[in-house]
């Protein structure tokens, strides 16, 4: 019987590590990746930059103050997706039971692979070596369940391998602070501290019923189980995406209609490219808007047929925008998302004369989209774009697309 069958693989400073692969001169230097505008946030920081206190989700303005000598690099999501797919290929070469959590981390259940590759620790070392051959560092946690494997990888960073054996679960777990438990946020931690519960061991020693009365039955039962190293959740492979989208917070608030629609077009183009790269299409288009006063709204429309092209997404998002109150406040953030996803290209209604009908979803547009994707795969996402994004319309004009 395999007693530590779960691996949690977490890439170390993934986006920053990819940028070092792209530009080897950045190796060993503080690298900060993220939005470059005044309202941008850090999406990844190398460990050299973290030594100065820079961390993910930090405002870029603060990161520049903490580490002005760093190399600041904009996000390159197509490159990160490419390397994420390469990493995924390494995972599935060891086990089909892979549960991605994001582009840079995943759970693996290797219990069925020991006869082929050896015990889980041997597989963890082999996975690290294969990923290192791509030029990327990672940390692997090996443990009896998902919760413990994730804790192990968190505490094994950077570029480590930490094993929590079944015999030493409580020895590993009980000295940790209660905040190490999933579900313990700031408010719950304060409530537990009022009870004198500071470590996981303190919480494990408390009778479950007492804990349930203190923080609620569901949460109390959940925390009591975790504090005793119990987590029965299986690794769930190939969980389908529920939605795919793109959003952006702008360096300055937008109030010009032409500029707003150009940004909607840019986001629709990015979302369409992501849909096609994953072999998906969607029926529901959602426009997200955050105003300068931080009020956030969403407007959605479900279509009769699935879509995966920039014109189709943009036409819906533009109409959703046009139906808003014309006296709306200035706009801080925009997003365009597709949901109701299915695999494969959109199903087509029979149209004998798509060219005469001007149908942008006809065969000629399919051919153009395929050519667009081929060029972008070869030369990068910025190599080809709707002409409107290259040549801005006059102030106040609508962002009509020219391809």
Could you read off the pLDDT of 100-141 as tens digits, one per residue? 988 899 999 999 999 999 999 999 999 999 999 999 999 999
CA atoms lying within 13 Å on the CB side of residue 25: 2
Which pLDDT tens digit goes with each residue over 236-271?
997 677 889 999 888 788 999 999 999 999 999 999
Measured between alpha carbons, how far is 30 from 23 in angstroms, rounded to an integer?
13
pLDDT score recorded for residue 354: 45
Catalytic center residues: 105
Beta strands in 211-310 (DSSP E): 243-254, 280-291, 296-307
- Of the chain, the percentage scoring pLDDT greater than 90 comes to 63
Question: Quick check: 307 and 346 in contact, CB under 8 A?
Answer: yes
Q: Residue 19, Cβ neighbours under 10 Å: how many?
A: 23
pTM of the entire predicted model: 0.69
pLDDT at 100: 92
Report how far Cα 264 is from the mean position of its chain's Cα atoms. 21
Q: How many CB atoms lie within 10 A of CB 10?
A: 23
Torsion of CA 273, 277, 281, 284, to 10 degrees: -50
pLDDT digits (tens, 9 = 90+) for 108-117: 999 999 999 9
Structural contact between residues 240 and 103, judged by C-beta atoms closer than 8 angstroms: no
The per-residue pLDDT of the chain, averaged, comes to 87
| 160 touches 181 (CB < 8 A) | no
User: Which residue has tokens 């620790």?
Assistant: 121
Higher pLDDT, 67 or 395: 67
Say yes or no to pLDDT of 277 above 50.
yes
Percentage of the residues of the chain whose pLDDT score is greater than 70? 85
Domains located in the chain, CATH noted: 14-77 (3.40.1170.60), 174-227 (1.10.150.20), 243-390 (3.30.1490.100)
Tell me the mean pLDDT in the region 191-219: 90
């Amino acid at each position: 019987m395999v007693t530590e069958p779960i691996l949690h693989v977490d890439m170390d400073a993934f986006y920053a590590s990819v940028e070092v692969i792209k530009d080897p001169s950045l190796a060993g230097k503080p690298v900060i990746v993220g939005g470059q505008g005044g309202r941008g946030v850090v999406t990844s920081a190398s460990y050299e930059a973290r030594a100065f206190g820079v961390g993910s989700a930090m405002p870029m303005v603060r990161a520049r103050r903490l580490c002005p000598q760093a190399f600041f690099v904009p996000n390159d999501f197509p490159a990160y997706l490419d390397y994420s797919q390469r990493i995924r290929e390494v995972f599935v070469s060891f086990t089909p039971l892979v549960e991605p959590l994001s582009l840079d981390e995943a759970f693996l259940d290797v219990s069925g692979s020991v006869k082929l590759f050896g015990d889980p620790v041997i597989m963890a070392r082999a996975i690290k070596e294969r990923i290192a051959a791509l030029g990327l560092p990672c940390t692997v946690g090996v443990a009896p369940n998902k919760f413990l494997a994730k804790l192990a990888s968190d505490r094994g960073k950077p570029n480590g391998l930490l094993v929590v054996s079944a015999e030493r679960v409580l020895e590993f777990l009980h000295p940790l602070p209660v905040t190490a438990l999933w579900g313990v946020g700031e408010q719950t931690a304060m409530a537990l501290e009022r009870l004198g519960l500071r470590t996981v061991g303190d919480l494990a020693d408390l009778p479950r019923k007492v804990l349930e009365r203190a923080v609620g039955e569901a949460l109390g039962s959940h925390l009591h189980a975790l504090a005793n190293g119990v987590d029965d959740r299986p690794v769930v492979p190939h969980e389908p995406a529920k939605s795919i989208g793109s959003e952006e917070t702008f360096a300055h608030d937008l109030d010009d209609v032409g500029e707003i629609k150009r940004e909607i077009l840019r986001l629709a183009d990015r979302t369409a490219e992501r849909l096609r790269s994953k072999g998906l299409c969607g029926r529901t288009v959602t426009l997200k808007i955050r105003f300068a006063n931080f009020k956030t709204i969403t407007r959605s429309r479900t279509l009769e047929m699935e879509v995966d092209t920039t014109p189709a997404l943009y036409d819906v998002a533009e109409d959703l925008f046009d139906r808003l109150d014309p006296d709306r406040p200035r706009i801080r953030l925009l997003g365009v998302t597709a949901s109701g996803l299915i695999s494969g290209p959109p199903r087509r209604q029979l149209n004998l004369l798509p060219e005469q009908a001007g149908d942008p979803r006809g065969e000629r547009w399919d051919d153009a989209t395929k050519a667009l994707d081929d060029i972008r795969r070869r030369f990068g996402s910025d190599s080809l774009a709707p002409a409107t994004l290259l040549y801005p319309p006059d102030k106040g004009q609508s962002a009509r697309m020219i391809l």
